[in-house]
Amino acid sequence: MGLKTFWDTNVFIYLIEEHPIFLPRVLARYERHLADGDILVTSTLTLGELLVLPLRHGNRKLVEQYVELLTVGERFQLTVFDRIAAEHYAKIRASTSVPQPDAIQLACSAAAKATTFITNDQRLWDLKVAGIDTICGL
């Protein structure tokens, strides 16, 4: 079995909205994860973040696409912000200037024991977070 890998919100946006620059990278990484037997993880915060704009614009089809992608089948595991994640969150916020939503994502990743955190947010790439071996871009 492969590793646990956490996908940040922006990776899903590139996938569903078929971003012309990033979609090929997302698909290549997804295929690599499948081939390696990786477990793909994201948080319920990701789902919430993904639904904001489609709901604001009344785009029910996009809402359904996001919900289906993250909750149907076994493609992704959803992790929640629980007590263990809260402890990771407190350590991250106490030792860095990472904004709250990013700290929650990182904390959920660490709590889920995901060794890799994939994001296109370059501000996070150089961070050292206990429980996460690698924070990187696509």
Q: Dump pLDDT digits (tens) for 10-35.
A: 999 999 889 999 999 999 999 999 99
Can you give the pLDDT at residue 74?
A: 79
Task: Tell me if 66 sits within 8 A of 50, measured CB to CB.
Answer: yes
Q: What is the mean pLDDT of residues 30-42?
A: 93
Tell me: the pLDDT tens digits for 49-80? 999 999 999 999 999 999 998 998 778 999 99
Distance CA 91, CA 126 (A): 17
For the chain, domains (ranges, CATH) are 4-136 (3.40.50.1010)
Helix count and strand count (H, E) for the chain: 6, 5
* Sign, Cα dihedral of 16, 122, 129, 88: negative
Q: What is the mean pLDDT of residues 108-128?
A: 96
Distance CA 3, CA 86 (A): 23
Tell me: the pLDDT tens digits for 74-113? 789 999 999 999 999 999 999 999 999 999 999 999 999 9
Can you give the pLDDT at residue 103?
A: 98
